């Protein structure tokens, strides 16, 4: 009996160590969403600055995950996993003691992001190289279920720690988890392709990083500066840049696209000359892989957008604390955690991977539509349970199967590079999710506030310009239910009217944000029709795991 247990432990323990590594990476992408009001007050900043913290973390992952996968191929995937965990712990410590947004960006967004970029591709490529056949499907089911559940567990954990302790504890626990990962890595076998050339495409790293940064910068700043016509003159470290009435967003997006095109051209040139590119464009000749990463990006975009928007409604309109806001996501977390392994171990035997992924994307889209339909000023968390369950089932059905289908299209030798590309697309989706949906939410909120104040019968006309100016400059305070701080003492009925207008404006802005999230997820569903009907999922290969 003991021998069987030891054999079982040796075989499956690596899955849980790697899944735990993935979990803390993804949890950090959602941890702050329920603590936004607390962090804003503590650091004396605004919602857009914290949006940058959240987005920059995903952006660092997007820019460097391929590099992390390449380094794993060159120097050992287990080694990169351990190094990444140590760097992640360092970044978490810095974030936990931050006194301003700049330190927080350095700790969480950059240092943690670098650590996560080294860890994340290693988790997937080690699974692919360790398991085969049905074992791989089960391992990927656990991996996918962890990824799906972690996105929903993040708000719950972050909410509990923020409400009962402090938002900084959300980062401090990462230090202990990283120590567990380093110790637990003893049971993971090193995997490395000895034939791989020991080179790294530094110029490719620079081009891809700058290109992605320019694109995401443009999208985030659209709410402040406008898409084309400038709402304000762009200011950078006290220096103003007047583009003759054109918003800084337009050149940022154009420059970003040009640099990404240059990156692709550079990678093709490297490949043609027989050198080792950061990303081999040959991967994208594989329809199974290409369509898989595209769907992955859109799924992440919709998921991140929803998790960014909903906590704002729960805290600002319904007045929930961080913990109870996190609990509102519990139906999604539990459902996805149950459905993902069930999908991999049971449903995949009876239903093709393409159909499972399509069902998952459809469920996710429908779930968000149901959630949006219940988004009313007087709605309680109970009104969202059914929609959350449907959404969680969709994430559970699609995520693990999608990852397995995408990466089963490549050889084990390409696992590090392919998993890096796959996770890069996931993080591009995540960064765009908080950027696009966040920008839509903030823009709609400002418009709705101005419209609500202008049309209000309870606010005297002579006070409307002053109040409009105040709520425009105090978006964060308005967004989290505090109303705007007006220098003039207002009658009670006017102050209450401002809060009522703020609640309605926030609710309507969140409804619009969920439309965007649902549209992107629905677009992902349409792209699933490009997935192959019969994909090689590695089921017929014998397991080599021990």
Classify 236 as helix, strand or coil.
Answer: strand
Task: Return the number of other C-beta atoms located less than 10 Å from residue 182's C-beta.
Answer: 17
Rounded CA-CA distance 309/384 in Å is 14
For residues 237 and 377, state if they share a domain.
no
The pLDDT of residue 258 is: 94
Rounded CA-CA distance 163/158 in Å is 8
Report the interhelical angle of 287-316 vs 438-455 (nearest 10°): 40
For residues 524 and 394, state if they share a domain.
yes
Asked, for residue 138, whether it belongs to a domain, the answer is yes
Domain count for the chain:
3
Q: What is the pLDDT of residues 462-471, one digit of tens each?
A: 677 766 666 6
Closest by CA to 490, choosing from 533, 436, 445, 453, is 453
Structure tokens at 450: 């101005």
pLDDT surpassing 70 at residue 354: yes
Residue 235, Ramachandran bin (φ over 0: left; ψ between -120 and 50: alpha; else beta): beta
Report the range out of 157-166, 253-262, 417-426 with the highest average pLDDT. Answer: 253-262
For residues 520 and 498, state if they share a domain.
no
What is the domain extent for residue 259?
201-277
- Contact criterion met (CB below 8 Å) for 182 and 81: no
For residues 104 and 205, state if they share a domain.
no
C-alpha dihedral, 380 to 386 to 387 to 391, nearest 10°: 130
pLDDT surpassing 50 at residue 69: yes
Overall residue count recorded for the chain in this entry: 546
Rounded CA-CA distance 475/19 in Å is 38
Residue 380 sits in a domain of what CATH number?
Answer: 1.20.1250.20
Closest by CA to 372, choosing from 387, 394, 359, 382, is 387
**Burial of residue 198, with CB atoms counted within 10 A of its CB: 0-12 exposed, 13-18 middle, 19 or more buried:** exposed
Say which residue the tokens 């074992």 belong to.
135
Asked, for residue 536, whether it belongs to a domain, the answer is no
Asked, for residue 132, whether it belongs to a domain, the answer is yes
For residues 163 and 237, state if they share a domain.
no
Rounded CA-CA distance 121/243 in Å is 41
Least confident of 11-15, 67-71, 364-368: 11-15
For residues 122 and 244, state if they share a domain.
no
For residues 259 and 379, state if they share a domain.
no
Residue 385 CB-half CA count within 13 A: 4
For residues 73 and 144, state if they share a domain.
yes
Residue 335 CB-half CA count within 13 A: 22
Structure tokens at 541: 């290969």
Say which residue the tokens 């918003």 belong to.
247
- Could you give the maximum distance between any two Cα atoms of the chain, in Å? 82
- Please identify, among 230, 251, 277, the residue that sits at the C-terminal boundary of a domain: 277
In which band, very low, low, confident or very high, does the pLDDT at 345 lie, cut at 50, 70 and 90? low
In which band, very low, low, confident or very high, does the pLDDT at 454 lie, cut at 50, 70 and 90? confident
- Contact criterion met (CB below 8 Å) for 435 and 219: yes
Asked, for residue 289, whether it belongs to a domain, the answer is yes
Q: What is the pLDDT of residues 131-154, one digit of tens each?
A: 666 677 677 667 666 766 676 677
Say which residue the tokens 């950078």 belong to.
236
Q: Between residues 220 and 366, which one has the greater pLDDT?
A: 366
Q: Against a cut of 0.85, is the pTM above it?
A: no
Tell me what the mean pLDDT of segment 384-389 comes to.
91
For residues 57 and 179, state if they share a domain.
yes
For residues 408 and 456, state if they share a domain.
no
For residues 28 and 111, state if they share a domain.
yes
CA 33 from centroid of its chain's CA atoms: 11
For residues 271 and 285, state if they share a domain.
no
C-alpha to C-alpha distances, 482 to 45, 138, 205, 309, 315, nearest whole angstrom: 15, 48, 43, 18, 11
**Burial of residue 4, with CB atoms counted within 10 A of its CB: 0-12 exposed, 13-18 middle, 19 or more buried:** exposed
Asked, for residue 540, whether it belongs to a domain, the answer is no
- Contact criterion met (CB below 8 Å) for 363 and 522: no
Tell me what the mean pLDDT of segment 44-67 comes to.
74
Q: Between residues 16 and 360, which one has the greater pLDDT?
A: 360
pLDDT surpassing 50 at residue 480: no
Rounded CA-CA distance 406/288 in Å is 6
Tell me what the mean pLDDT of segment 389-411 comes to.
79
Rounded CA-CA distance 68/58 in Å is 14
Q: Which residues contact 342 (CB under 8 A, 6 or more apart)?
A: 141, 396
Classify 229 as helix, strand or coil.
Answer: strand
- Please identify, among 245, 277, 309, the residue that sits at the C-terminal boundary of a domain: 277
Rounded CA-CA distance 512/177 in Å is 37
Rounded CA-CA distance 105/49 in Å is 10
Asked, for residue 42, whether it belongs to a domain, the answer is yes
Asked, for residue 478, whether it belongs to a domain, the answer is yes
- Please identify, among 234, 257, 277, the residue that sits at the C-terminal boundary of a domain: 277
Asked, for residue 210, whether it belongs to a domain, the answer is yes
In which band, very low, low, confident or very high, does the pLDDT at 362 lie, cut at 50, 70 and 90? very high
Rounded CA-CA distance 124/139 in Å is 10
């Amino acid at each position: 009996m003991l021998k069987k247990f030891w054999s079982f432990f040796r075989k499956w323990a690596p899955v849980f160590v790697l899944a735990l590594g993935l979990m803390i990476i993804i949890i950090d992408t959602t941890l702050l969403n329920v603590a936004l009001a607390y962090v804003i007050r503590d650091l004396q900043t605004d919602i857009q600055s914290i949006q940058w913290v959240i987005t920059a973390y995903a952006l660092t992952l997007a820019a460097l995950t391929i590099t992390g996968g390449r380094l794993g191929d060159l120097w050992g995937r287990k080694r990169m996993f351990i190094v990444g965990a140590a760097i992640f712990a360092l970044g978490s410590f810095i974030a936990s003691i931050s006194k301003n947004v700049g330190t927080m960006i350095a700790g969480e967004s950059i240092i943690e992001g670098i650590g996560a970029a080294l860890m994340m591709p290693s988790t997937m490529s080690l699974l692919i190289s360790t398991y085969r056949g049905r074992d791989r499907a089960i391992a990927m089911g656990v991996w996918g279920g962890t990824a799906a559940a972690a996105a929903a567990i993040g708000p719950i954990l972050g909410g509990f720690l923020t409400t009962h302790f402090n938002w900084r504890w959300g980062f401090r626990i990462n230090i202990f988890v990283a120590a567990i990962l380093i110790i637990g890595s003893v049971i993971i076998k090193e995997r490395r392709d000895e034939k791989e050339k020991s080179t790294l495409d530094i110029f490719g790293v620079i081009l891809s990083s700058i290109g992605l940064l320019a694109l995401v910068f443009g999208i985030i700043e659209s709410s402040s500066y406008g898409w084309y016509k400038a709402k304000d003159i762009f200011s950078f470290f006290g220096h103003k840049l007047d583009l003759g009435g054109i918003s800084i967003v337009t050149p940022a997006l154009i420059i970003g696209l040009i640099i990404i095109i240059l990156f692709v051209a550079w990678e093709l040139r490297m490949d043609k000359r027989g050198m080792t590119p950061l990303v081999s464009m040959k991967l994208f000749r594989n329809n199974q892989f290409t369509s898989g990463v595209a769907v992955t990006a859109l799924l992440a975009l919709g998921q991140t957008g929803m998790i960014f928007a909903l906590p704002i409604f729960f805290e600002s309109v319904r007045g929930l604390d961080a913990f109870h806001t996190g609990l509102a996501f519990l139906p999604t977390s539990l459902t996805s955690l149950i459905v993902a392994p069930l999908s991999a171990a049971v449903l995949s035997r009876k239903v093709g991977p393409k159909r499972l992924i399509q069902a998952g994307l459809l469920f996710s889209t429908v779930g968000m539509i149901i959630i949006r339909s219940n988004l009313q000023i007087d709605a309680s968390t109970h009104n969202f349970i059914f929609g959350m369950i449907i959404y969680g089932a969709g994430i559970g059905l699609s995520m693990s199967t999608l990852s397995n289908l995408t990466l089963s299209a490549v050889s084990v030798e390409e696992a590090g590079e392919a998993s890096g590309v796959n996770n890069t697309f996931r993080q591009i989706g995540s960064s765009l999710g908080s950027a696009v949906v966040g920008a839509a939410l903030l823009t709609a909120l400002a418009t709705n506030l101005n419209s609500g104040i202008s049309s209000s019968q309870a606010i005297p006309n002579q006070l409307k310009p002053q109040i409009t100016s105040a709520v425009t400059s105090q978006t964060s305070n308005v967004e989290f239910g505090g109303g705007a701080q007006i220098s003039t003492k207002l009658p009670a009925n006017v102050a209450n009217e401002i809060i009522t207008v703020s609640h309605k404006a926030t609710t309507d802005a969140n409804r619009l944000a969920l439309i965007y999230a649902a549209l992107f997820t629905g677009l992902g569903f349409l792209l699933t029709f490009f997935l192959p009907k019969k994909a090689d999922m590695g089921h017929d290969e014998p397991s080599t795991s021990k």
